[in-house]
Amino acid sequence: MIIRVSELEEQGLRIDDVDALATALPDPSWRLESVALEVEADGTEVFVRGRLAVTAPQTCGRCLEVFPAHVDTPMDVRLVPKPAAADSVELGADDLDVDFYENDELDLARVVENEATLAMPMKPLCREDCRGLCPTCGANRNVAPCTCAPRPPDPRLAALRDLAARPAH
């Protein structure tokens, strides 16, 4: 979904057509659930603000199963024209959400995908109490308990615990 920055009207653009944007998402395994965005230009700067919700396949950090992760995130991105390779853009401390567009063309689907990716958890869990894989036999303990004995506690960790339990002076 390409937006021509120079053609953005003064009142901006309102995007809430899920289907139009969903078909533009690069990854077909993503499902866009809701979108409500305002796209506004101020000179060559473009602001995309609003909210979006997607469901995307993620790999659980504990059991390594792929599961549908739901992300519902506010969006507040500033886009500036991509500088020539030799130039650098000065980013302030509050400019974490700055992105670029090229040749007057802003690909909104790409921006949405970027933001949703950033909003995904760093270590996704298929569920809060996922039991993960057995460190001994590698079985997925959510599916069936294995018969491995629990590992003896790591003596180094025990030493650390003792240290932490010592009263502070």
Task: Name the site residues for Zn ion (rule: CB under 5 A).
Answer: 60, 62-63, 126, 130, 134, 136-137, 139, 146, 148
CB of 53 to Zn ion, least distance (A): 22
* Nearer Cβ to Zn ion (44/136): 136
C-alpha atoms less than 13 angstroms from C-alpha of 168 in its C-beta half-sphere? 1
CB of 153 to Zn ion, least distance (A): 17
Distance CA 54, CA 34 (A): 7
Pairing of strands 2-4, 31-42: unpaired
* Nearer Cβ to Zn ion (1/139): 139
Give me the helices (H) in the chain, please: 18-22, 108-119, 155-165
* Nearer Cβ to Zn ion (32/126): 126
CB of 115 to Zn ion, least distance (A): 25
* Nearer Cβ to Zn ion (62/75): 62
Q: What are phi and psi of 66, to 5 degrees?
A: -85, 130
CB of 120 to Zn ion, least distance (A): 15
Distance CA 28, CA 25 (A): 7
C-alpha atoms less than 13 angstroms from C-alpha of 145 in its C-beta half-sphere? 3
CB of 62 to Zn ion, least distance (A): 5
* Nearer Cβ to Zn ion (64/159): 64
